[in-house]
Structure 1
């Protein structure tokens, strides 16, 4: 029996994913998480074969969840679900050791195939996304002025926008306060911002948090 953990902060999405997973008699949903911190805790408790994780979750996004599990040596494959077509997000996902990436809009048709691929030790990235990323890369290669935030900087910005202090961010991400401050300053420098309010607006615009 293969164990599948579902992590999404929307109950209706979790219910839909559970319904798809449970169409397979040899798969079982081992737990449901509503934020990144709970997802990591449940993964440590239930040791699922696959985690289906929404990218945009409270406390820790899907990439940070994968990074944490990798650091803890949890041998669980992560399938990231996202609503956003983003070259940067896919690049950061690969760097975080994620081998599965699927649009939420494709989940009904392709979730089973994606999970099967990961269970067989094969990566799964939706073709539509890969084609778009190739097109965008060619179009933007010659004129790309914006500096990109790392996944850790995005996690810090997300938590700032959720109202966490540097100390609580450090506790959540297992970083020192000084390191959090460094990531915060780096993000603000790259984004050319000078206030927390600007970071919050950026996080809402990039859908790191809900408005």
Structure 2
């Protein structure tokens, strides 16, 4: 399955019409600047973004002291992935191969103040019922040819 930023925007738009995608960065440096300027509730960063990787961008976002929670988006699955994501200051990750199943649920978990490191059982729900209608997102994706 080939992913595109348009496909992810569609997934978010269809699942949560009340959420607003406030920006889309082409690289990690742009993502950090966008978070600084727009103050989104959640930033979704591709782990392999150019200029500044998603992990490096997550570290810089954590140092900003803003309330933005960071979700890493990756096609790379490894035994160390969860450790690397936690060490970066991000609150979770979603594998690209599982985006249709996990992305919205992961964002819900982050908005509820939880973390998302792999899919919990389907019957487990985040503690908060629904995020606020004003929820903002800053998408930081790097897609070849997108």
Q: Please tell me the TM-score bracket, short chain as reference.
A: 0.7 to 0.9
The separation in 2 between residues aligned to 1:111 and 1:86, in whole angstroms, is 19
Pair 1:39–1:87, CA change in 2 (3 A): same
Residue 88 of structure 1 and its aligned partner are, at CA, apart by: 2.4
Counterpart of 1:57 in structure 2 is 49
Residue 127 of structure 1 and its aligned partner are, at CA, apart by: 4.0
Secondary structure of the 2:80 match is helix
The one of 97, 100, 107 aligned to 1:108: 100
1:89 aligns with 2:65: no
**Structure 1 unaligned regions, length at least 5:** 1-11, 129-209
The worse-fitting range, judged by mean Cα deviation, of 57-66 and 87-96 is 87-96
Structure 1 stretches of 4+ moved >6 Å: none
Q: Which has the larger radius of gyration?
A: 1
Deviation by residue 1:39-58 (Cα, 9 ceiling, x = unmatched):
01111111100111100010
Decide which structure has greater helix share: 1
Secondary structure of the 1:20 match is helix
**TM-score normalised to structure 1 length:** 0.53
How many residues of Structure 1 are paired with residues of Structure 2 in the alignment? 118
